[in-house]
Amino acid sequence: MAALSELESSAQHLRACLSRTQGLHALLCGLQFFAWLNERTVSGAHATFVEASLREFVPDLAAAARLTRPDDLLPDEIKKLQELIALIRAMPGIVSSDDLATFETLEKRSESSHSLEPPPAADDDQVVLAGLFVEHHPELRLAPRGRLLWLRVEAEERRRGKTDDQAVLLNTTIRPDDEFRRQADHAVRLAREYLTSKHALNPKKRFRVDFEVEGVTSSLTGPSLGLALAVGAAVAMARRAILRDTLDVPSDVAFSGALSPDGRLVSIDGEGLRLKLTRAIHSGLRHVVVPRAHITEAWDFVRQHPPADPKNSLNLVAADDLATILGDRNLVFPQKRSQTAFQFLRFRKRMREPRVGIPILLALLLILAWQTVPWLAAIIDRNPASVTWEANTFVVRNRHGIALWSKTFDCDSLLGGPYCVIEDLDGDGRAEVAVAPRPYSISQLPARVHAYASPGLSLSGTLLWERNCSIWGEYPQDSTPGLAYGVQLVDCKRLNGTAVIVTSVAQQNPARSHVRFWSPEGDSVGWYICAGGGVTCATFDYGHDGREELMLLSYNNRAGCVGLAVLNPAGSVGASPPYSDALYDLSRVRQGNQLRYMIFPKSDASTADNPLYNRPWKLEQESSKLMRVDVCEGSPDSCTYCSVSYYLDDSLRVKKVDVNDPFKAHREQMVKDGRLPAIDWPEYFQSLRDSILHWTPTGWTH
């Protein structure tokens, strides 16, 4: 019989697990905990402990079960789920009927889930293929397990003059130079070299390839998906480049393993192979690619572990290199276009190229130039300079105000605001447009940022990439399915010569802002959650080391005032302090890795006017060594633009405090009305300066 101390220790570990993760892994931690309880003799106080554990943990585990795909569970995990259901039924009245029904539904669907259900592709050019992966979560005390992941791949030809390919990861990696990143770079290069040698791809063409592993919120690492990345890149490039042969990958084929720089399959460890094959056997796959060095070991394992459904027999394919795999018609299926269709597609593509289409259209313009000479310069200026919002459409205009192109969104109407930035992201001298449309009703559109280019004389912008701006499961209420976020900000800052796109979306109860940082190519380079809205940003050389950092000014509703964070966007993670609150449980919130964080408490004038908070107003760099933070004080009904200005040096020391004239007039009137005592202004400025608090690992300090 387990001691109560041992039981409580295991329960404490489960609490820690549920604070770190959600969905499948949270459910696995809970199933492991209750399976461990079932193995022990339970009576008396132990039975009371089981009852208390069901009351405490089952609601969170039911929420995790709702986010779990039925085909994610392996047979031994399904058995643990059945044991949990039996335990709940044996102790009626403790768990709600809705939570019990959630477990029963997942168990039923998992038991009958013997066929693959790949997610649909977003369009004809997107490739969706399966990859086998071994996930390790020692921090959760979960044993390594095989998992089937779906990889989305889409290719785009880079503009003429580009000499290198570009691999874009839409998932984050543990490190900027992670092996996962290197495998993606190898994959794009190897795929292009294969298509050049086998399918007559123009050797001068260079591609940008977007990779996204679906359903993964944690950072990725390791080389295991290198082969899947390369196969997906080759198929996506073949579709985009308009080759005589189109390529396709059946959904019942899975790829796993790393590639060397010369395209050979790298040997894998035996335990990892067995975990991947276990996952494959119980997933409905028909073919799995295995390095030739492991084929005998793999067949022995498959014969010893037949699938539950005899119809789902698994075929193993031995391979030495990427070229062998791409040439196997069971794995990658080529289909030849007719000569007529092939030539038509090539002609249509060439006519869309600016170097072909523009001269023809310019000739027509010159014929009519005698009528339009005064306006000719304005008409041929195709560089975006401004955006206007008209109903549910945003219109991109040049510097003369002439409309270049527009985009319409599926909503009633759009709000104007700081939801768009125009910037030369790729350094080609022409501006791109990044926009996050905000409808009047935020539930009508997901909070996503779209990046467009203006190609030649086209009447529509070319979508470069589109990304989700929210952050799943890192702050209270952010794991609620279908929750809509309101766009606050789209901006672009140049840090140390590199453009960083900043997006911010917000929700209430609790108030928080999801801030995400994107590379010009659409890579997610970092994220941060502010404990309130009203985000504005600026760059500043904090520490005066010659490198700029990003400063975020926003509400901090947990602290009841304005907060300022200093971040390195690349690798930024976590939420702003504080990490405890009277209304919300913040114990599971990941603490931010900000370089510095400080708050500016309300002035006495703001307190007397009785607003809940003071407000972030402006963040401006006065010089290379001085940043000005403007905080709005007073209620909107009495003195909207009363502000206090804090001047910070490059170490965030307050060098000066000042107030604007409306603030002085407003406070002096409050003195006359008997609402506040008279003050000496220099002493008052010093009191404001002394009120500032800085966050440290032990809490707030002056």
Kindly list the domain boundaries of the chain, sorted by start residue.
4-111, 127-336, 469-701
What would you measure as the largest C-alpha separation in the chain, in angstroms? Answer: 98
Residues 6 or more apart from 295 whose CB is under 8 A from it? Answer: 316, 318
Sheet holding 642-649, edge to edge: 615-623, 626-633, 642-649, 654-659
What is residue 70's predicted lDDT score, i.e. its pLDDT? Answer: 82
420 — phi, psi (to 5°)? Answer: -150, 145
Burial per residue of 28-58, b for 16 or more beta-carbon CB atoms within 10 angstroms, e otherwise: bbbbbbbbebeeeebeeebeebbeebbeebb
Using an 8 Å Cβ cutoff, are 241 and 157 in contact? yes
Dist CA 249 CA 127 (whole Å)? 8
* Helical axes 45-66 vs 4-20, angle rounded to 10°: 10
Which residue, among 252, 250, 256, has the nearest Cα to 298 in the 3D structure? Answer: 256
* Helical axes 339-352 vs 354-367, angle rounded to 10°: 60
Dist CA 622 CA 609 (whole Å)? 30
Residue 374, CB-side half-sphere exposure with 13 Å CA sphere = 1
pTM of the model: 0.56
Residues 6 or more apart from 165 whose CB is under 8 A from it? Answer: 158, 185, 188, 189, 192, 206, 207, 208, 209
> 127-336 belongs to which CATH class?
alpha beta
Q: What is the CA radius of gyration of the chain?
A: 29
Could you list the mean pLDDT of each consecutive 10-residue stretch along the chain, which spans 702 residues? 74 86 88 86 66 89 88 88 90 88 89 70 85 85 88 88 87 83 92 89 89 80 89 91 81 89 87 89 86 89 80 84 88 74 60 55 57 53 84 87 87 82 83 91 89 70 90 86 86 90 94 95 94 93 90 95 95 94 90 95 90 90 92 64 92 93 91 94 94 93 90
Q: What is the DSSP letter of 520?
A: T
- Respond yes or no on whether the N-terminal peptide bond of residue 578 is cis (omega within 30° of 0): yes
Residue-wise DSSP of 598-653: EEEPPPHHHHHH--S--EEEEEEEEETTEEEEEEEES-TTT-TTEEEEEEEETT--
